[in-house]
Amino acid sequence: MSRVLVVDDEPAIVTLLQYNLEQADYQVVTAIDGEQALQLAQHEHFDVILLDLMLPKIDGVEVTKRLRQEKIQTPIIMITAKTSEFDTVFGLELGADDYITKPFSPREVLARMKAVMRRYHEDAAPVTTSDNGHVIQIAGLQIDQDKFQVKRGTTPIDLTPKEFELLLFFAKRPGKVWSREQLLEGVWGFDYSGQTRMVDIHVSHLREKIEVDPKHPQLLKTVRGFGYTFEAPHD
């Protein structure tokens, strides 16, 4: 049975989520503030965390930040009443996997949960790797799939968990053109056309970190009218 941590300071929201999740055969643990949520997530195993953005004591953004700093990679879906691009992108850049805005339907929450958990637990596709079997060396980058680390030469490149997933997805499939919808399905695990802006934002941030000149990318390129492709010149 999958375990879900539900974090919200509104009793009605907690009750709604707990009831529907338990009806769907999930084991639910609840928290009403960020401090409690952080303690639970640090010391117990959960398959997914439903995390409100605005919380007492420690807000959801700070909870996400601390968990990712501690290398706790449990999928996080932020629940927020805020709809500005800054709020949602900021949470995603810190390592949240998805977000849902209030008001929401329990059916939507369940669909999003299944999508992020499927992506998190699915086996990696077979790829050509270096001798140790875990490091992809491509376009001057070394991508360590076990340690979630990326380097160019001896210089580490600091990526968020979702940026790492996106780079890994491209690196395993160089030269192929991907639409934004395909990237949503392949990296985020869901296909909602209204969320394609999220792909553009992550691609832009990834370019800032892996390209020598992000304004004139040589690796992660835009294919106008189609999407994106990762070109891997011979080192």
Q: What is the pTM of this model?
A: 0.61
Structure confidence at residue 50 (pLDDT):
96
193 or 101, higher pLDDT: 101
pLDDT at 160 over 50: yes
In angstroms, rounded to a whole number, what is the distance separating the alpha carbons of residues 137 and 86? 34
CA 145 to chain centre: 15
pLDDT at 91: 67
Report the pLDDT averaged over residues 15-44: 95
Residue 139 has pLDDT above 80, yes or no: yes
Measure the CA–CA gap between 230 and 219, rounded to whole angstroms.
5
Q: Between 101 and 122, whose confidence is greater?
A: 101
Q: Quote the CA–CA distance of 188 and 219 in Å, as a whole number.
A: 21
Nearest CA among 9, 4, 44 for reference residue 24: 4
pLDDT at 146 over 90: no
Cis bond upstream, residue 217 (ω within 30): no
